[in-house]
Structure formats: structure tokens, C-alpha cells
Copies of this chain bind each other. A is one copy, B any other.
């Protein structure tokens, strides 16, 4: 993100503190925040105090640690419901889901995690029941592979440098193998998931491009190995997922 020449440093520090909280770090003490953000303890104290009084942080009186407050929840809900591509994509997801009679999802990439932002379910429960906000490891999911494949090379290299954990014995986590896989994904324009996230589950994903010709999201069709034999996955679903992804991308202003 390009740095603005008109930035307010205090605000930026406050946002930096908010950004410390994530899935792995749900509560922090004043000292932990000071250390993690490399701030003076008085500065950290003031920032936390301000965030708390605005409802963005709340303090657990027992553990004495801070965690995101309801205000952050509200903002998150607002952001989810206002995501442009989510709104634009919705009808296409429904149409594809009806067309292929499987569950269709939309997600974004956050670090090495896929975050689900929308879902149209087949009228049946399938393996992983994932709601909006759910996360899966990027390397294990079809949408994760698609979004990783379209990262700038240096960004991708950085993310692949960490140790990747498999989700099933079929997960591709070896460095060389995953690079080859992502090359394949770029070339064919879609990614497959053949029981790599969960045994018994298959999926096909394709990238969503926006008007700046960047991949901003991915969609996939997912279902049981019983309803999605390998041949169906590659011959019927892959073309349809790609086509739907292109339609969504064009609706978002993608030119080519």
C-alpha cells in the first residue's frame, strides 16, 4: 500500500496496535502491545486508552488483557456486507450453484489463509461446514492456490518461505511441488482440490479479477467425491467455474 504524504502518525500507530490482534493473538496486555508495536509504554498506554474508550478494545478484568471490542465487530460486519465484489458476485454464485447443484463459495486471501466471504450452499450438508469469516490454510484449498498463483513473485516467495502444513496426505506442501502446482494453475486458469483439504471433498476454483487487473478473490465449486468424480471435476465443473469467474470479473470492470 503506497504511503501517503499526508499521514497522521498518531492515527497510524493506533491502527498498528489494532492490527496486532489476529486469529492467533486474541488478547494482549499493555506491555505485550508496547513490545509488539515497539512503542513507548506511555504512548502505548494512551493509544490503548483511546481505543478502549472508543469501543475498539475492551479489557478483560480477570486476565487484565485487551481484546478487540464490539466496535471492531460492527466494522467487520459492515465491511463484509459492503464488499463490492461480494455483492456483484452473489447472483453469479447462485446461478452456478443451481447450474451444477453443488456448493459455491467466494473468498479472499489473508496472508496464508483463505477467508470465506460468501457462500451459496447446495441444499445438503457437505463435509466442512464453513461460514463467512471461516479460514482454511491457503495451500490446502483450491481458492488458496488460485490466489497464491496470482500474487506478485516476491510476495509469493515470502509467503512460501514459511513451513506449510498439510491438511490430508494429498495436500501439496513441498516447496518445489507447490511452485509447480501454482505454475500449472496460472497456465490452465483454475485450480483443483482433490481431497487436499479434507478426505472425501473435491473442489475447483478460478480467480476473480478487478478493473485494475488484479486478482482480488476466488470462487470455487465444492462437493463430495461421490457427486464430483474426477472426470466431472475437469470436464464439466472447471469450464463452468472459469466462465462464472470471468463473468464476475467483467462485471467488476476487468478488461482482459
Q: Quick check: is A72 within 8 A (CB to CB) of the other chain? A: yes
User: Across the interface, which residues of B come within 8 angstroms of A81, CB to CB?
Assistant: 23, 26, 133
A7 to chain B, nearest CB (A): 5
Q: Quick check: is A176 within 8 A (CB to CB) of the other chain? A: no
Which of the segments A96-104, A121-129, A152-160 contacts the partner chain? A121-129
User: Across the interface, which residues of B come within 8 angstroms of A6, CB to CB?
Assistant: 45-46, 49-50
User: Across the interface, which residues of B come within 8 angstroms of A46, CB to CB?
Assistant: 6-8
B80 touches A76 (CB 8 A): yes
**Bitwise interface map of A from 87 to 123 toward B, beta carbon under 8 Å scored 1, else 0:** 0000000000000000000001010000101010101
A72 to chain B, nearest CB (A): 4
A56 touches B125 (CB 8 A): no
Q: Quick check: is A162 within 8 A (CB to CB) of the other chain? A: no
User: Across the interface, which residues of B come within 8 angstroms of A133, CB to CB?
Assistant: 76-77, 80-81, 132-133
A54 touches B12 (CB 8 A): yes
**Bitwise interface map of A from 42 to 86 toward B, beta carbon under 8 Å scored 1, else 0:** 000111011111111000111000011111111111111111100
Q: Quick check: is A163 within 8 A (CB to CB) of the other chain? A: no
B21 touches A14 (CB 8 A): no
User: Across the interface, which residues of B come within 8 angstroms of A129, CB to CB?
Assistant: 121
Q: Which of B1, B10, B47, B61 contacts A53 (CB 8 A)?
A: B1
Q: Which of B7, B72, B119 contacts A79 (CB 8 A)?
A: B72
Which 9 pairs show the lowest CB-CB distances between chains A and B?
A76-B76, A26-B82, A68-B79, A11-B14, A4-B49, A72-B79, A4-B53, A10-B10, A6-B49
What are 27 A-B pairs at a CB distance below 8 A? A4-B50, A6-B46, A7-B46, A8-B14, A8-B47, A11-B13, A11-B14, A11-B51, A12-B54, A15-B54, A15-B56, A67-B79, A68-B78, A73-B79, A73-B80, A73-B108, A73-B110, A73-B117, A76-B77, A76-B80, A77-B133, A77-B135, A80-B133, A131-B131, A131-B132, A132-B132, A133-B133
